Amino acid sequence: MWRTLLNGYQYVLLIYFSSLNVLYALFSCIGLRAIVVVFAREFSQGSLRDLLERDVYKPVSILVPAHNEEVSIVGSVQSLLALQFPEFEIVVVSDGSEDETMTRLIEAFALAEQPWATRQDLPSAHVRRTFRSLTHPNLIVVDKDQGGKADSLNAGLNMARYPLFAAVDADSMLDGEAILRASRLFVEDETLIGVGGTIRPLNAAVVEEGRVTEARIPKKWLERFQILEYARAFFTGRAGWSHFKSLLIISGAFGLFRRTAVLEAGGFRVGTVAEDMELVVRLHRHFIEQHKPYNIRFTPDPICWSEVPSDLGTLRRQRNRWHRGLWETLWIHKRMLFNPRYGRLGLVAVPYFWIFEALAPVVEISGYVLVGIGIYAGFLSPRFAILFVVLAVLYGMLASQLAAGIETFLSNRYPRLRDRALLFLAAFLEFVGYRQYLAFQRTIATAQVPFKRGQWGKMHRKGIRGSTQTPAPAEEAEPERTTASV
Amino acid sequence: MWRRYGDAFYTLLTLAVFGFETIALGGLSLSFLLGGATGIASTPVEGILLGVVISTASALALLGLYLLSYHFVSNLRDRWQIEQLDKWTEWWVGLALTGPGEPVDAGSGRRRLPRVAVDSVLSLLEAVKGEEGDRLKEALAGHGVDHWFLRRARAGHLTARLDAIEGLGKARLPQAFDPLLGLLHHAKPVVRRMSARAAAVTLAVLPPEPGPDSPQARFIQAIKHADLQPGVVQEALLLLETRAGPILRELLADPQLSDSLHWVALETVGRLGLADMADQVAASSDHPDPELRAASFRCLRRLGSVPETAEATLLHAVGDEVDFVRVQAAHAAAFVPAEAALPALEPRLEDASWWVRRAAAASLARLGELGVATVKRAAESHPDKAAREMAVQILLEADELTPAAARLATGVA
């Protein structure tokens, strides 16, 4: 009996493996084509310059939630102040920080406390104080009681004056043109409500004047593996989903949204560890249910550099949180699963995330166990098992190489030929323990979902180093039109 | 941002690799299912599995080899391109200033210019105008670059087509204008968008012509009938530079103009600061569509002038039932004489909308001493807390109040 069951499960695993790889191949090809055709050609440097010279942009409020970010907050804000964009404000929200976050901000940017006439579009924890910088008039700092990242973003949204807002992590650094490249899409598409950019690991990169001037391969393999993971996630996966108008994730590290759309959907959801994904899924759901035209896109051009974990403990906690967040979001919006009312989202994207993302680590771990049992029990020849594992590794490497290959076309790529060779090697080495470790951690996270709702875990940061540049002046606020009827 | 060579081939290679791998995986899955009777790890299935492993390893090797080679070659090419660009730019500058000379690669005897030469002249053409620019364009046409671009823009692969349209936009060749207008009706949105921009920058350098068949008239007809997003039309109109005025006048004078284009025209007038069109803009200030009323007021605010004939309508709109119309009207009211604007703006300090309160307070603060005094009075003693807070906020931003005084006024510790 048990033998029949195991045999049956083998087939499930094999079909799962084949389907996942075929789908991945499909998204990769479509995503790559979109990058090559549209972004490399339509959004050239020349057309961007035209936009700037002719005032074609929508001003942006940049929201930076920060909880105990004393190590990175000053460098991060300096990098944001150096953005090449004519009209933006930065709203840093200190979420009950207990370290020196506020002190460092006050000293670095000459903050003066002042009262602030805020809107109460969204509920948030009590705002203790508001500050404006005496040296950078477009920098506002909010000091509030701790309420979590989503709560901080809601508080920031209450302060935001501009029609678009960008949510940026305090340990991240944007490319100079990132906001311009993302915001131009909103000018061209009236129905666009959210845009996600590409996240690249900041570790080991050369930072000058608040800008990444050269990408470099980090020394630790742990960080190198994450370069591949990020390339796979952004250059292929999200580009493909975006093409099908089914993008379910815009990274919390950098996303640009139409403020009125987010307010209409109720702002960020407090009490979840995946407020970024949850917001995007809710936006989809809200606009579909309201029968309103909308679009949510990924664009590879605006690049955000983010510090990735360099130690195993931080990585474990991060991935545990990400996976719990995925489950939380899928569970909150379980009504969408296989629901034709939500079109391709309900019938393809959401089921994909349930089956091939949320359940993936469980299937992977059970596969390893099954191979062991199969060999031990004698119904799987070691030769067959080895061949199958080799095939899985080769497929993984193929996917990594494709994604990392897209990075070669970027002007700011890893410059040396040796870097490319190292990435090739990393694509192999990540299968020697790293991948299995993460699958195991994500399996544990799956089991923890009911017990650890909304818990973040402590993150260890090295911090961003940079120096201040003169910011663009903050100009008059421009309220967004409330409808997109014209 | 992106290297534009070898990428299309990479896409094809990836498509081929994954296409083949998909077939291989399909075959493998099928053989697993069919082999169920004899056991999943039966010899024939194992043979197929081995085949798939070998094919995947070969695909990986091929992809890896391409990437390593590309990386190596592109490093060399980047360096070579910088050198060549310098050489060609020097040559084109000489040609623009003094007339034709011997091309850099004259020794090869080729008539067609290398791509790097075309890129360098296209960059130059963005900066060089007038007689020198015309000389460069003649040289481009002499080498058949215009025909080459036009051929690729009409018939090439999508990537080649987009490159060609971008090139035509940079070259601003008169002979490309009509073909570009034709592409505004292309099935692919990206082609329409890029063609609209290229046509606009080309029209910007064409000499003005009167009549219903003029390039200007043809451009207007094309954007009226093309399936373009309002933002794209706005971009195109802004790219017209000095030629935008007459086109915008004609658009706003058209009673049949769609609401979408009407809105775009108002936005563009405001962004270009065409103050002489204030009367035409003000004519939309009592339009039944609130979006157009708001756009009209936003435009007047950007122009920094409100015609006398529109003052009454504007001040009435400060109390419009639609909040975003009130916001824009309140902003524009800063350009109405203080005596008339004050009575309309002051009650708006206690408007239900935060945006209206802010716009009203900001406009009052711009109305000179009388307006600032009104805001200061509101900051000190307005019975509505929200009005008081907004007045303090605006005074702080206008440097009419220090943070310490503001804390005192609002009771913030």
pLDDT of A106: 94
List the single residue in B49, B229, B262 with the smallest CB-CB distance to A391. B49
pLDDT band at A135 (very low <50, low <70, confident <90, very high): confident
Q: Give me the residues of B, 22-81, that contact A with CB < 8 A.
A: 22, 25-26, 28-29, 32-33, 36, 39-41, 45-46, 49-50, 52-53, 56-57, 59-60, 63-64, 66-68, 70-72, 74-75
Q: What is each CA distance from A81 to A51, A179, A212, in whole angstroms?
A: 20, 12, 14
| Chain B residue numbers touching A26 (CB-CB < 8 A) | 18
B340 Cα to chain A: minimum distance (Å): 23
- For chain B, counts of helices (H) and of strands (E): 21, 0
Q: What is the pLDDT of residue A381?
A: 80
Burial label, A1 (beta-carbon count in 10 A; 0-12, 13-18, 19+): exposed
- Whether pLDDT at A423 is above 80: yes
In this predicted structure, what is the pLDDT of residue A446? 94
Contact A454, B227 (CB under 8 A): no
Cα distance between residue B169 and residue B173, in whole Å: 8
Closest chain A C-alpha to B64 CA, distance in angstroms: 7
ipTM > 0.85, yes or no = no
Q: Mark yes or no for CB contact A387/B57 under 8 Å.
A: no
- Does residue A456 have a pLDDT over 90? no
pLDDT of res. A378: 79
Kindly state the average pLDDT of the residues A181-198. Answer: 90
Query: Searching chain B, which residue's CA lies closest to the CA of residue A39?
Result: B2
**Could you say which of A15, A50, A424 has the minimum Cβ distance to residue B64?**
A424
| Angstroms from A261 CA to nearest CA on chain B | 15
| pLDDT score at A462 | 61
Q: Answer yes or no: do B403 and A411 touch at CB < 8 A.
A: no
User: For position A470, what pLDDT does the model report?
Assistant: 34
**B window 260-299, beta carbon within 8 A of A:** 260, 262-263, 271, 289, 291-292, 294-295
Taking the C-alpha atoms of residue A131 and residue A112, their distance in angstroms, rounded to an integer, is: 5
When pLDDT is cut at 50, 70 and 90, the band that residue A485 belongs to is very low
Residue A328: which of A438, A445, A246 has the closest Cα? A445
The counts of H helices and E strands in chain A are 17, 12
Does the distance separating the beta carbons of B238 and A55 come in below 8 Å? yes
Confidence of residue A484 (pLDDT cuts 50, 70, 90): very low
Residue ranges in chain B whose pLDDT is less than 50: 37, 106-110, 413
Is there a contact between A36 and B11 if contact means CB atoms under 8 Å apart? yes
B40 contacts in chain A (CB < 8 Å): 7, 10-11, 14, 380, 384
d(CA B49, CA A165): 51
Taking phi first (over 0 means left), then psi (-120 to 50 degrees means alpha), and beta for anything else, what does residue A240 get? alpha
Q: Using CB atoms and an 8 Å cut-off, which of residues 134-153 of chain B contact chain A? A: none
Cβ B197 vs Cβ B150: under 8 Å: no
In the three-class reduction of DSSP (H, G, I as helix; E, B as strand; rest coil), residue A172 is classed as: strand
A-B contacts at Cβ under 8 angstroms = 238
DSSP structure string for A107-154: HHHTEEE-------SS--SPEEEEEEESS-TTEEEEEE----HHHHHH
For A231, the token pair is 């390339």
- What is the predicted pLDDT for the residue at B41? 53
Sign of the torsion formed by the C-alpha atoms of A5, A11, A12 and A13: positive
CB B271 to CB A25 under 8 A?
no
End-to-end CA distance of chain B: 49
Domains (ranges, CATH) in chain A?
20-355 (3.90.550.10)
Who's near A58: CB < 8 A, 6+ residues apart? A162, A163, A164, A183, A186, A187, A478
Of B57, B70, B323, the CB nearest to A408: B70
pLDDT at A209 over 90: no
Among candidate residues A360, A181, A343, the one with its CA nearest the CA of residue A246: A343
Report the residue of chain B nearest A381, measured CA to CA.
B41
Q: Which is it for strands A60-66 and A164-168: parallel, antiparallel or unpaired?
A: parallel
- Containing H/E element for A206? strand A206-208
What is residue B406's three-state secondary structure? helix
CA distance A451 to A443: 14
Please determine, for residue A469, whether its predicted confidence score (pLDDT) is greater than 60: no
Q: Which pTM value belongs to this model?
A: 0.86
Helix (H) or strand (E) holding A66: strand A60-66
Please give the Cα distance from B142 to B136 (Å, whole number): 10
Cβ within 8 Å, pair A46-B36: no
**SS3 of chain B: helix, strand, coil, percent, to 5:** 75, 0, 25
Element spanning B324, H or E: helix B323-332
Please tell me the predicted confidence (pLDDT) of residue A467: 37
B358 with A117: Cβ contact below 8 A: yes
> Given A21, A410, A486, which is nearest B260 (Cβ)?
A486
CB-based contact B393 A479, cutoff 8 Å: no
Can you give the pLDDT at residue B106?
45
- Rounded CA-CA distance A195/A180 in Å is 12
Q: Please list the residues that pair with B323 across neighbouring strands.
A: none
Question: What pLDDT, on a 0 to 100 scale, did the predictor assign at position B43?
Answer: 65
Residues from chain A contacting residue B235 (CB–CB below 8 Å): 50-51, 54, 56, 187-188
Residue of B nearest to A119 (CA): B354
pLDDT at A264: 95
* Neighbouring-strand partners of residue B283: none
Question: Averaged over A240-245, what is the pLDDT?
Answer: 88
The whole-angstrom separation of Cα A458 and Cα B299 is 50
Q: In what order do the strands lie in the sheet with A127-133?
A: A111-113, A127-133, A139-144, A88-95, A60-66, A164-168, A254-258, A192-201, A295-306, A172-174
pLDDT at B383: 92
Spell out the residues 6+ positions from residue A300 whose beta carbon is closer than 8 angstroms to its own: A35, A39, A197, A198, A234, A235, A239, A406
pLDDT higher than 80, residue A37: no
Q: Give me the helices (H) in B143-229, please.
A: 145-155, 158-171, 177-183, 189-205, 215-225
Tens digit of each residue's pLDDT (9 = 90 or more) over B34-88: 765 455 556 677 888 888 899 999 999 999 999 999 999 999 998 998 899 999 9
Amino acid at A427: A
**Which chain B residue has the Cα nearest residue A385?**
B41
Please give the backbone phi and psi of residue A132, each rounded to the nearest 5 degrees, phi first.
Answer: -125, 145
